[in-house]
Amino acid sequence: MSVNLSKNGAALQAAYKDVLDEKTKTDWALYTYEGNSNDIRLAETGDGGLEELVEELSSGKVMYAFCRVKDPNSGLPKFVLVNWTGEGVNDARKGVCANHVSTMANFLKGAHVTINARAEEDVEPDAIMEKVAKASGANYNFHKESNRGNEGPQGPVGSVYQKTNAMSEIKRVGKENFWAKAEKDEEERRLEEHRRANLEKDRLEKERKEREQREAEERERRFRERAKEIDRAEKRSLPESGPVSVQPEQDTASQQEEENIYQDTTEDENIYQDTPLDEPVYETGVEEDRGICARALYDYQAADDTEISFDPDDFITHIEKIDEGWWRGIGPNGHFGMFPANYVELLE
């Protein structure tokens, strides 16, 4: 994961600029991470130099320090970058933070000396100042000796001094090229990481859609199989208990009874006129043979031959409540099949 400098960017930049500015008292700034995240935050600033800075380094943290010191040779301000990895930091965290060093160096630009430190002896102020003196390309004692000379050695001293500046310039250019390459490498790494993340996201999305499609097909298959099993079971039971075979028997018995009444009638027409009184009994019997009945509230069209179709106000008879949401019954066209229970209302 790359280091995040944007979350607390304003505070990070302000502290860095204070150290760069010779007019401010602040001569060091210390940065670290927010918990175990990769977000950089400002830990502390101060004006007590290296001696004060090293006291703030923690053995259990990864930290980055930027400090302004005075070159013992020229008296000019120099800047020191300290990459601190405490001895108490676990190996996994060390590996992650090692990838952030180049990014932090690019952020804290202008360092003349970079120190990679793990223990207190790596950040002794005297040792750091010695490196600063060497980095300037001149030796303080050499300057003292040159000041004692007469007019004669002034030429050679000037010549040596010019060479020193040339070497410093070469080092400076080399350092700039190094950081430019490091910045380019970091940018390429971020782009590659982003590309891999997009590929992984696309792969997961494709797998999710395929999984949902398979699950939907499996649900549809199970529903169809269940509907077919119900239909086969119903077809096997219809010859024994179906209403179709019962109805003709009721009609035949009623017709025979009516013929007997006509044949046995010896009284006046009042007796014949009383026969319609039996009709409610006949209708009640037919209604009871229809089992549970319901009236359609909405229009429904069958999806396949295991279901029935009906229009509003149609009647469905011989209803079987096989499921909470789906029932079976005989539709207005005489076909037996399934239908949604919430499309009808039961009749009392």
For residue 78, what are the β-bridge partners?
Answer: 69
Question: What distance in Å separates the CA atoms of residue 99 and residue 186, rounded to the nearest whole number?
Answer: 9
- Kindly state the helix (H) or strand (E) to which residue 233 belongs, with its residue range: helix 154-241
Lowest mean pLDDT among 93-107, 128-142, 160-174, 282-296: 160-174
- What is the separation, in whole angstroms, between the first and last Cα of the chain? 70
Q: What share of the chain is helix, strand, coil (3-state, %, to 5)?
A: 55, 20, 25
Q: Once rounded to an integer, what is the mean pLDDT over residues 109-129?
A: 92
Question: What distance in Å separates the CA atoms of residue 114 and residue 82, rounded to the nearest whole number?
Answer: 6
- Residue corresponding to tokens 């909470």: 324
Comparing 246 with 107, which gets the higher pLDDT? 107
Comparing 294 with 220, which gets the higher pLDDT? 294
Whats the size of the chain, residue-wise? 348
Q: Once rounded to an integer, what is the mean pLDDT over residues 48-65?
A: 94
Token code pair at residue 139? 């030796």
Arithmetic mean of pLDDT over the chain = 80
Q: What is the pLDDT of residues 82-105, one digit of tens each?
A: 999 999 999 889 888 989 999 999
Residue 259: predicted pLDDT: 56
**Is the pLDDT at 7 greater than 60, yes or no?**
yes
Question: What distance in Å separates the CA atoms of residue 109 and residue 20, rounded to the nearest whole number?
Answer: 10
- Residue corresponding to tokens 């070469």: 170
- Kindly state the helix (H) or strand (E) to which residue 320 belongs, with its residue range: strand 315-320
Q: Once rounded to an integer, what is the mean pLDDT over residues 202-207?
A: 92
Tell me, yes or no, if the pTM score tops 0.85.
no
Q: Once rounded to an integer, what is the mean pLDDT over residues 285-298?
A: 77
Q: What is the pLDDT of residues 146-155, one digit of tens each?
A: 444 444 444 4
Question: What distance in Å separates the CA atoms of residue 30 and residue 40, rounded to the nearest whole number?
Answer: 10
| DSSP 3-state of 196 | helix
Q: Within a 10 A sphere around the Cβ of 29, how many other Cβ atoms?
A: 26
